Amino acid sequence: MRGRPSQNTAQKKPNLEDYDQAYASFRWEDVEKELGWTKAGKVNIVYSCVDRHVLSGKGEKVAIIYDDFFRRELYTYDDLLNLSNCFGNALKKMGIKKQERVVLFLPRSPEFYLSFLAVVKIGAVAIPLYEGYMSSAVNDILQDSEPAAVITTPFLRRRIDTQKLPSLKQVIVVGSAQNNADIDWHDALVGGEESPAVEWVEREEPMLLMYTSGSTGKPKGALHVHEGALQYYQTGKWVLDLQEGDIYWCTADPSWVTGISYGIWAPLLNGATSVIYGGEFKAEKWYTILEKYRVSVWYTTPTSLRKLIAAGDNLMHNYNLSSLRHILSAGEPLNPMVIRWVQQKFGLTVHDTWWMTETGAQIIANFLCVPVKPGSMGKPIPGVYATIVNEQGREVPPLEMGQLAVRKDWPAMMRGIWKDPEKYQEYFRLPPWYLSGDLAYRDADGYFWFQGRADDVIKTGSERVGPFEIESKLAEHPAVLEAGVIGKPDLMRGEKIKAFVVLRPGYAWSASLERDVQNFIANTLASHLVPEEIEVVESLPRTKSGKIMRRVLKAREMGIPIGSLPTLDE
């Protein structure tokens, strides 16, 4: 049946069958054994992702399928081993050493993934940069990170000011080099030796410098280490539920942490086959990828799912999507409306996941073996303790809103903010907690419910209101596709609620529709949560990970400067 999963894939037994038992008994030491790690030995995450599978006899298995409708390439685990060795050895010849930074300013392409694996394999630190960054943002990050090398394209090369980068040893260009000092990427690959390039490192040695999305201010460089492999592997096994025979598609760009942790590390550590689509979003092309490669596990964003909703139901009926058995989302809270649409059209429940660039990997998730409460973030992964704390760092009882906190020292946790130790310590100012900056509450069953960022809370009269609850309810109105909510200064109450809404196709704004929307909120949510003002907009400002940038909405409303927005994706 088109648009529906087959009976066989839908009933596949999940890797995790008993959440409560796993949460009570799980130890990270058990994952070390599965990866072949020992306490005393050195490691390398790329060796665990690639070389380990080849040595176990899985070298001929396809690891990556790349498709952008102009270029289609398959890479086996054998290919990844040989090519990462070749390019890794080429980097070594250029003088790139352990722990030196290498920037990958590239579009989503095979060259990105092969370069990334090679950089980390030789013990260097990879820095993925979004291809949409303009010169100012690019050079700010380059000057902050002080790279030894930059890998880019001729077009993107023009945005880089090498004169301000004294640390730079080499620029490597994928394509025809315009500068005589630059090295051609393909020439370097062909000239590299296939001999093993892996550098063995301590678990706590850095391998990734990931700049945050900028949803709350200037991007910061979060430093991640090889130890994170334990969590990428286990969450890939239990949350993504990757199994033998699965075709997996993570739609995230590799300049965003999801595109690294769950677009590279988790599937490769689990020996899976991944689809990588290199083109722009178009609903028909996404449906084609799902059908063409018989994708069974799909990790995407609520924003992308809303775009599919906007494309209309008739389009999806042209495609056979019966291979799908598991759909997950990340990047922003998942509205119940989206969950219901996917359930109706795909016959599957979307499983939301919560985590951040700073956490490195999934912290709270909805598991296949646990009932989903639509709109909930889910429950903490085994091996991690998450809770809700007040302003003094004390845990609060169920149903009380506070800041979402995680007990320090999980494997994928960032180990620093680049050049800013004071900022890093701010996250841990109330020991033993990592403070996420997200407001949430926990219900009596242990499920977590997102309410908004701490700095997005609306203080109206004596109430503290989280914007996400109102945004989700607005999106359930037939005329509203999506919404962003802010607090607007008010002399009497401190702030009043204002909503920005994107209408569904076929609807026109009017005074009567505005009253209908307000009555809908009053009747289905609460009268004190009704937006006093509603403004229709064509789109909402979002980061490339899909988060609504409410500070941008507020700045525009107040007529104040927005500031630098290098990761804005409208």
Chain segment 491-501, per-residue pLDDT in tens:
767 789 999 99
Q: Residue 469: what residue type?
A: E
Nearest CA to 341 out of 313, 322, 370 is that of 313
Mean pLDDT of 337-345: 92
| Contact of 411 with 224, CB cutoff 8 Å | no
- Interatomic CA distance for residues 426 and 273, integer angstroms: 39
Please indicate whether residue 466 or residue 237 has the higher confidence score (pLDDT): 237
Nearest CA to 476 out of 340, 290, 367 is that of 340
- Interatomic CA distance for residues 278 and 393, integer angstroms: 44
318-339: pLDDT as tens digits: 999 999 999 999 988 888 889 9
pLDDT at 181: 87
Indicate the range of 39-48, 116-125, 170-179, 282-291 predicted with least confidence: 170-179
DSSP bridge partners of 410? none
Indicate the range of 251-255, 299-303, 339-343, 559-563 predicted with least confidence: 559-563
Nearest CA to 387 out of 395, 399, 379 is that of 395
* Domain 457-558, CATH number (from 3.30.300.30, 3.40.50.720, 3.40.50.880, 3.30.450.20): 3.30.300.30
Burial 312-338 (b: 16+ CB within 10 A, else e): eeeebeebebbbbbbbbbbbbbbbebb
Before 432, cis peptide (omega within 30)?
Answer: yes
- Interatomic CA distance for residues 396 and 402, integer angstroms: 7
- Interatomic CA distance for residues 14 and 368, integer angstroms: 7
The DSSP letter of residue 568 is B
pLDDT mean across residues, the chain:
91
The DSSP letter of residue 162 is G
Mean pLDDT of 450-459: 79
Per-residue pLDDT for 486 more than 60?
yes
Q: Write down the pTM of the prediction.
A: 0.85
528 vs 353, 480, 512, 522, CA distance in Å? 30, 20, 20, 8
Task: Supply φ then ψ for residue 252, to 5 degrees.
Answer: -70, 140
Per-residue pLDDT for 406 more than 50?
yes
Strands 494-503 and 533-536: parallel
| Contact of 212 with 222, CB cutoff 8 Å | yes
Per-residue pLDDT for 177 more than 90?
no
Sign of CA dihedral 73, 210, 299, 230: positive
Residues 6+ apart with CB under 8 A from 56: none
Mean pLDDT of 401-413: 96
pLDDT band at residue 215 using 50, 70 and 90 as cut-offs: very low
491: number of Cβ within 10 Å: 6
Q: Residue 238: what residue type?
A: W
Burial 52-75 (b: 16+ CB within 10 A, else e): bbbeeeebeeebbbbbbeeeeeeb
19: number of Cβ within 10 Å: 20
- Interatomic CA distance for residues 66 and 528, integer angstroms: 50
Mean pLDDT of 251-259: 94
Nearest CA to 22 out of 380, 406, 446, 441 is that of 380
| Contact of 483 with 456, CB cutoff 8 Å | no
Please indicate whether residue 552 or residue 152 has the higher confidence score (pLDDT): 152
Per-residue pLDDT for 59 more than 90?
yes
Mean pLDDT of 109-130: 97
Alpha helix ranges (H) inside 313-417: 313-316, 336-346
417-449: pLDDT as tens digits: 999 999 999 999 999 999 999 999 999 999 999
Please indicate whether residue 82 or residue 302 has the higher confidence score (pLDDT): 82
- Interatomic CA distance for residues 201 and 125, integer angstroms: 12
The DSSP letter of residue 456 is G
pLDDT at 563: 54
pLDDT band at residue 457 using 50, 70 and 90 as cut-offs: confident
Please indicate whether residue 373 or residue 333 has the higher confidence score (pLDDT): 373
Lookup: tokens for 118: 């090679």
